[in-house]
Structure 1
Amino acid sequence: MKIRTLATALSSMAVIGISLAPPQAHASAEALIRAKCLPCHTESDDGISRISQQRKTPEGWLMSVARMQIVHGLKITDEERRTVVKYLADTRGLAPSETAGARYAMERRLNTMEAFESEQFTQMCARCHTGARVLLQRRPASEWEHLVHFHLGQYPTAEYQALGRDRDWLGIALKEMVPELASKLPLESEAWKQWQAHAPQAVKGEWSMSGHMSGRGGFSGVMKVAAGKGKDRYTLAFDGRWDDGRPMQGKGQALIYTGYEWRGDLVVDGTPMRQVFAVEDGVMRGRMFMRDQDEVGADVVASLQGAGNSRVLAVHPSYLKAGESAELRIVGSGLAGDVTLPAGVKLIDTVKRSATEVVVRVQADGAARGVHPVAVGKVSGGALALYDSVAAVKVLPAFAVARIGGNGTPTAKVEARFDAEAWAAGADGKAGTEDDFRIGVMPAKWSVEPFNEVAAHDQDVKFAGLMDAASGVFVPGDAGPNPARRMSASNVGNLKVVAEVEQGGERLRGEGQVIVAPPRWNNPPLP
């Protein structure tokens, strides 16, 4: 099967395999695995060969089962695949601490810049796919060795590609990478043993939620979670609002893998979306993104209402300028008691309050510059930046990749979304020092320019796509040859992203970069 077809199949199976049809019981899952897997694998006192010697995320197990279907002809229904993935993720998964630092792959954070201490790992493993895909697996040395041989069997040109042909690729992989991976990512770990003994987590009830979506803004609200049909299945309903006052509502369902891996499917204001959260100690953290356009998403944190779980999650908006008044929404769980604001911020009135949200009117008079928590009763948290002027503007992300698409092709366009992050100067009043502090995301005027002379010569600004001046959303051009371009080139390009934040009649400028690349042909559950 061609790579493009394989990638398309894996992408569609991600929706089917991690979706929320009722999974079967463990006993049925074990019987199913024996029936479907033992024709090729063998069973011993140590379990089933290859399968029992690995631990992966739900997405990792989905990719393994899907590969068995696509490459080896495994016959399995969608419901059976869901059952197998659920069982394997529950019994051969990763502890929360083992996914730390690599969750961006599951959360579809497409513009994450990876960096690893091991240069060998970077060149040998992270040159063809993300390093996170490796970091989200656990194997003994024998299985890491099997994986090396699998790579050469499945991708025989690996030794002759960039960073492969200039070295003894197989020798390094077997003699150096296998011991390194087995040491850093072992099958057995104390973290996994402790997590398996962890008591089930409570998730039913009301979750106070706060989030921010690039190109759209912040939001907050309450997600009600109720028991669904089947183990670890839940229904959910979200009722909230965007920071600009517009309502935000959604309904759907969710499934928990491995005791903490929350995967939700819901429709928010008519748009199908997915949730990839980690649940631990009454808090959810992760990302919610469009199901069919995963670059469009929001960072989310939520807290469960209940005894002993009082906390302040966030303040909307997260900044206040000296001399100005504003209405602040303090979002959290178990919010009770007096509101305590940073020194120099005066409480004028309490507009509304509940256990999940306290809305207050405030005035900043002589406020202490810097980032401060806000307290409600005995709990404090969130971040309220108090400033007198903006000293610098940063474009986030500093580097992004958009992809041409559409125009009759089977691949969709991939947008790039940016925020203008304002910063204040530190105590010395000079921007660019260590004591500068982050104010927050501010409205900006957005534009693009040629990144270099080549981009100017090729008229990339004209052909590569359009930047929305108000939102910071860049939509790339159509796929395919463009007769209007030199040599009928496609609409790829290299652009400078410019954000201008107005202050006192002047505009502070921040710069980033967007590469407009060819279509995204390969879109597996873990990139």
Structure 2
Amino acid sequence: MKIKLRSGLNASLLALAACVGLHAPDSQAARDAQSILQQNCMGCHIPEANNGLSRISHQRKTPEGWLMSIARMQTMHGLQISDEDRRTLVKYMADTQGLAPSETDGVRYALERRLNTVEHFDEQTTQMCARCHSGARIALQRRPAQEWERLVNFHLGQWPSLEYQALSRDRDWFDLARTQMVPMLAERYPLDNPAWQQWLKTAPKSQTLAGNWSFSGHLPGKGEVAGVMAVAPDGEDTFKVKITGQYADGAPFNGEGSALLYSGYEWRGNVKVDGVNMHQVFAAKDNTLQGRMFEADHDERGLDFIAAKEGSNRVLAVQPGYVKAGSESEITLVGSGLSGTPNLGQGVQVLEVLEQSPSRIKLKVKAGADAQPGLREVSVGALKGPALAVYNQIAEVKVVPEFSVARIGGGGGSTPKVQGRFDAEAWGKGADGKPYRIGVVPAKWHVEPFNEQAKEDEDVKFAGVMQAETGIFTPGDAGPNPARKMSTNNAGNLKVIAAVDDAGNALTGEGHMIVTVQRWNNPPIP
């Protein structure tokens, strides 16, 4: 199921998300969270045992989930609360009623703003719930059965036309929601889960995150990046961050900022990198930071990120992750505590060590002309790392993401364009005939009409422009276009074509991109 970006929250939620500072700590002392709950929430929520409050004490959510709840109280129920108190409350609720790391596994794409993810939920959840918002939004909260039922009641009370919309009017939606969805959700996502209680007992102290982190990343349209992120304590669960790195082409990747830790592992950072404000959404566990960095104003412009703490002894990445049989290449190993002799597997010879440090080893290597195609285990001394792909020819090219959404914008309006950003992924066939991933390779890019209607409507002409060298598609302006039939906007239905030249062997990959209208509601969890 494709993530959909419709939401019942008021459009001002985006502004609230920016104000709340999920990605950056506030340096000023705030009121005690319990005082805020008593003074701001008890007008509607009834006190319960053990300092509990009705409704509030029977839910667990991510930081973004609690932010959305508070924002809904503001936009729908007139809650008056300062930005500072909202920050304090989100932090307290996420720390005391959050999710364990295992409870976010498989659905972190929503927190990381990977908005071209195609979801896979059961058919009933998809049709009953995930037609209006992502299934991940449901999976990132925990409630008992009674609270799930109240959520159903809230949906129908807040959106009375719900039962008449597509995928509702063909069934008794309310009855199915109460009698089938509520028991299923209560069993699948229960409030009481030993994993959360165990995490509260065993979560490491935030001070353990201080130090230097070697990192690796990949930004579609730009390439691989690596460097070191220095993390210094700046208060309880807050940090100062300094990044020093560079892309494979030598361009810098340097910046500074701050970060805040929720729930013992939910890292939210705000860093200005080379003049661009970027958010960090990472999971901090097992001496790694892993997730995504993306531009504050353009969440589609983001890079995968993984980092290992100094002293943790780990091989993080092989850049690039492939070498062609019979050729020489420069390979960089990125990690932490790298020492010892690098070994790239059978048929791959290390000709020269060009550079070596505990976080980076740059090698000149050669793959034998008779090296068998397939994946090789990479090691540095006793450390095992990601695989290196050896290939003699590319068998297939895939466009990643295979399906994507870009959005028109600008045109005098305040909503920016949302780009399409693509990689060409090469695949080979091993000696056993089974396919294996080689890696991201250079390509020439263009777009074509997806079907006859798109051809007739001249979507290629109006929907936007594809950069041939980078795979970055910039949509057209928002608003009516008098040059189009019926003065419609610059939407389009396009094929995305990647052309790869493998030593004279021409291959192409094909993806599908919808160029559509602006996102009017852009909640923290889509």
| TM-score under structure 1 length normalisation | 0.96
Q: Identify the residue that residue 355 of structure 1 maps to in structure 2.
A: 358
Which of structure 1's runs of 4+ aligned residues deviate more than 6 A?
23-27
Q: Contact (CA 8 Å) 1:210, 1:314: kept in 2 or not? A: yes
Q: Identify the residue that residue 141 of structure 1 maps to in structure 2.
A: 145
Structure possessing the higher relative contact order (Cα contacts under 8 Å, 6 or more residues apart): 2
| Residues 108-165 of structure 1 deviation map (CA, whole Å, 9 limit, x = unaligned) | 001000111x221111110100000000000000100110111011111111100111
Question: Take 1:92 and 1:372, find their aligned partners in 2: how far apart are those partners?
Answer: 44
Q: Report the 3-state secondary structure (helix = DSSP H, G, I; strand = E; otherwise coil) of the residue aligned with 1:197.
A: helix
Q: Contact (CA 8 Å) 1:342, 1:368: kept in 2 or not? A: no
Q: Contact (CA 8 Å) 1:283, 1:302: kept in 2 or not? A: yes
Question: Take 2:135 and 2:382, find their aligned partners in 1: how far apart are those partners?
Answer: 42
Q: Report the 3-state secondary structure (helix = DSSP H, G, I; strand = E; otherwise coil) of the residue aligned with 2:299.
A: strand
Within a 5 Å distance, the mapping from 1:26-175 to structure 2 comes to 28-45=32-49, 47-116=52-121, 118-175=122-179
Q: Report the 3-state secondary structure (helix = DSSP H, G, I; strand = E; otherwise coil) of the residue aligned with 2:393.
A: coil
Q: Contact (CA 8 Å) 1:7, 1:521: kept in 2 or not? A: no
Identity level (%): 56
Determine whether 1:379 maps to 2:378. Answer: no
Question: Take 2:416 and 2:91, find their aligned partners in 1: how far apart are those partners?
Answer: 30
For residue 10 of structure 1, what is the amino acid of its counterpart? L
> Aligned-pair distance for 1:5?
11
| Residues 341-368 of structure 1 deviation map (CA, whole Å, 9 limit, x = unaligned) | 2111111111111111111111111333
For residue 364 of structure 1, what is the amino acid of its counterpart? A
Question: Take 1:5 and 1:174, find their aligned partners in 2: how far apart are those partners?
Answer: 20
Residues 1:199 and 1:115: Cα distance change in structure 2 (over 3 Å): closer
For residue 361 of structure 2, what is the amino acid of its counterpart? V
Q: Cα RMSD over matched residues?
A: 1.6
Question: Take 2:160 and 2:30, find their aligned partners in 1: how far apart are those partners?
Answer: 38
Q: Identify the residue that residue 286 of structure 1 maps to in structure 2.
A: 291
Determine whether 1:210 maps to 2:210. Answer: no
For residue 402 of structure 2, what is the amino acid of its counterpart? A
Structure 2: 5+ residue stretches without partners: 1-5
Question: Take 2:119 and 2:178, find their aligned partners in 1: how far apart are those partners?
Answer: 24
Match of 1:326 among 306, 326, 329: 329
Match of 1:233 among 238, 246, 252: 238
Q: Contact (CA 8 Å) 1:493, 1:517: kept in 2 or not? A: yes
> Aligned-pair distance for 1:22?
3.1
| TM-score under structure 2 length normalisation | 0.96
Within a 5 Å distance, the mapping from 1:165-204 to structure 2 comes to 165-201=169-205, 202-204=208-210
Q: Contact (CA 8 Å) 1:23, 1:83: kept in 2 or not? A: no
Determine whether 1:219 maps to 2:225. Answer: yes
Question: Take 1:122 and 1:108, find their aligned partners in 2: how far apart are those partners?
Answer: 20
Question: Take 2:338 and 2:432, find their aligned partners in 1: how far apart are those partners?
Answer: 37
Determine whether 1:300 maps to 2:299. Answer: no
Q: Contact (CA 8 Å) 1:417, 1:472: kept in 2 or not? A: yes
Question: Take 1:256 and 1:456, find their aligned partners in 2: how far apart are those partners?
Answer: 50
How many residue pairs end up in the alignment?
Answer: 516
> Aligned-pair distance for 1:27?
8.2
Determine whether 1:525 maps to 2:524. Answer: yes
For residue 351 of structure 1, what is the amino acid of its counterpart? L
Question: Take 1:428 and 1:104, find their aligned partners in 2: how far apart are those partners?
Answer: 33
Structure 1: 5+ residue stretches without partners: 430-434
For residue 295 of structure 2, what is the amino acid of its counterpart? M
Within a 5 Å distance, the mapping from 1:249-288 to structure 2 comes to 249-288=254-293
> Aligned-pair distance for 1:426?
2.8
Question: Take 1:239 and 1:503, find their aligned partners in 2: how far apart are those partners?
Answer: 34
For residue 246 of structure 2, what is the amino acid of its counterpart? R
Q: Identify the residue that residue 465 of structure 1 maps to in structure 2.
A: 464
Q: Identify the residue that residue 14 of structure 1 maps to in structure 2.
A: 17
Q: Report the 3-state secondary structure (helix = DSSP H, G, I; strand = E; otherwise coil) of the residue aligned with 2:160.
A: coil
Residues 1:479 and 1:5: Cα distance change in structure 2 (over 3 Å): farther
Larger mean Cα displacement after TM superposition, 41-50 or 75-84: 41-50
> Aligned-pair distance for 1:7?
4.2
Q: Identify the residue that residue 474 of structure 1 maps to in structure 2.
A: 473
